[in-house]
Chains A and B, each alone.
Chain A
Amino acid sequence: MTYTSEALQQLVEEFSQLPGVGKKSAQRMALYILKQPREDVLRMAKALVNVKDRIKYCTSCSNITEVDPCPICSSAKRDRATICVVEEPNDVIALEKTNEFRGLYHVLGGALSPLDGIGPEELKVNELLTRMTNGVTEVILAMNPNIEGEATTIYLSRLLKPLGVRVTRIARGLPMGGDLEFADEATLSRALEGRIAL
Chain B
Amino acid sequence: MNLGLIRLRHFRNHTDTTIRFAPGTNVLLGQNGEGKTNIVEAVSYLGLTKSFYAANDAVACQLGAESFEIEGIILSDGGIEHHMRVAYSREQGEKVCTVNHARPESLSSVVGRFPVVILSPENSAITFGGPADRRRFMDMVLSQLSRLYLDDILEYRRAIRQRNRILGEIKVTGARHTSELEPWTLNIIKYGSRIIYRRLSFVRDFKNPLSDSYEKITGAEEVPGVSLTTVDGLDSEPSVEKIELRMSEKIDEVCGDEFRRGVSLVGPHRDDLALTLNGKNLQRYASQGQHKTMLIALKMAEFALMREQRNEVPIFILDDVFSELDEQRSRNLIGVIRDCGQTISTTTEESRFHGAIEWNSQNKKFSVSNGVCTET
Chain A residues in the interface with B (C-beta under 8 A): 112-115, 119-120, 146-148, 150-155, 158, 184-186, 189
Assuming the contacts A184-B147, A185-B148, asked whether A114 and B162 have C-beta atoms less than 8 A apart, the reply is: yes
Report which B residues bind A (CB closer than 8 A): 146-148, 151, 155, 158-159, 161-163, 165-166, 169, 177, 179-180, 182-184, 186-187
Query: Knowing A112-B183, A154-B182, A155-B183 touch, does A185 contact B162 (C-beta < 8 A)?
Result: no
Give the most central of B151, B182, B183, B184: most A CB within 10 Å.
B183
Could you jot down 7 A-B contacts, CB within 8 Å?
A112-B162, A114-B162, A148-B162, A150-B187, A153-B183, A154-B187, A185-B146
Which of B146, B161, B169, B187 interacts with A151 by CB under 8 Å? B187
For the complex, give the distance between the alpha carbons of A152 and B163 in Å.
Answer: 13
Q: Which residue of A lies closest to B180 (CB)?
A: A119
Given A186-B147, A186-B148: A151 and B165 within 8 A (CB)?
no
Chain B residues whose CB sits within 8 angstroms of the CB of A119 once the complex forms? 177, 180
Cβ distance A47 to chain B, nearest Cβ, rounded Å: 35
B180→A113 contact, CB < 8 A: no
What's the minimum C-beta distance from B142 to chain A, rounded to whole angstroms? 13
* Contact, CB under 8 Å: A147 / B162: yes
Given known pairs A119-B180, A185-B147, the reply for A154 and B162 (CB within 8 Å) is: no
**B residues near A148, Cβ cutoff 8 Å:** 162
Given A148-B162, A154-B187, 15 other A-B residues pairs in contact with their CB atoms under 8 A: A112-B180, A113-B162, A114-B165, A115-B162, A147-B158, A150-B187, A151-B183, A152-B183, A155-B179, A155-B182, A158-B179, A158-B182, A184-B147, A185-B148, A186-B148
Known: A114-B165, A147-B159. A154 touches B151 (CB 8 A): no
Provide the bound-state CA to CA distance between A146 and B183, in Å.
13
CA distance A135 to B302 in the complex (A): 60
CB distance from B167 to the nearest CB of A (A): 9
Identity of the chain A residue whose Cβ is nearest the Cβ of B160 in the assembled complex: A147
Please name all residues of chain A whose beta carbon is closer than 8 Å to the beta carbon of B155 when the two chains form the complex.
Answer: 146-147
Residues of A within 8 A of B159 (CB): 147, 151
Chain A residues near B163: list those with CB within 8 A: 114
Query: Which A-chain residue is minimally distant from B109 (CB atoms)?
Result: A184
With contacts A186-B148, A186-B151 taken as known, whether A151 is within 8 angstroms of B179 at the C-beta atoms is no
CB contacts (< 8 Å) of B187 on chain A: these are 147, 150-151, 154
Q: Check A155 against B162 for contact (C-beta < 8 Å).
A: no
- Bound state CA distance, A147 and B183, in angstroms? 10
- With known contacts A114-B162, A115-B161, A148-B162, A154–B148 Cβ distance under 8 A: no
In the assembly, what is the distance between CA of A112 and CA of B166, in Å?
11
State how many angstroms separate the Cβ of A39 from the closest Cβ of chain B. Answer: 40
Query: What is the CA–CA distance of A147 and B153 in the complex, to the nearest angstrom?
Result: 12
Contact of B165 among A115, A158, A184 (CB under 8 A): A115
Which residue among A112, A151, A185 has the maximum number of chain B CB atoms within 10 Å of its CB?
A151
Residue from A154, A184, A186, A189 within 8 A of B183 (CB atoms): A154
CB neighbours of B177 from chain A (8 A): 119
**Complex Cα gap A152–B162 (Å):** 12
Cross-chain contact A120 with B180 (CB below 8 angstroms): yes
Please indicate the chain A residues that have their CB under 8 angstroms from the CB of B146 in the complex. 185
Can you list the 3 inter-chain pairs with the closest CB atoms, starting with the nearest?
A151-B183, A114-B165, A154-B183
A47 to B146, CA, bound (A): 50
User: Complex formed: what's the CA distance from A115 to B165 in Å?
Assistant: 6
**Neighbouring B residues of A185 by C-beta, 8 Å:** 146-148, 151
Q: How far apart are the CA atoms of A158 and B161 in the complex, in Å?
A: 22
- How far in angstroms is the closest Cβ of chain A from B7? 32
Provide the residues of chain A in CB contact with B147, threshold 8 Å: 184-186
Q: Could you tell me the distance in whole angstroms from the C-beta of B250 to the nearest C-beta in chain A?
A: 19
With A115-B165, A189-B148 in contact, do A154 and B186 touch (Cβ < 8 Å)? yes
- Cα–Cα, bound, A186→B148 (Å): 5
Residue numbers in A under 8 Å from B180 (CB-CB): 112, 114, 119-120, 155
Chain A proximity of B155: nearest CB distance (Å): 5
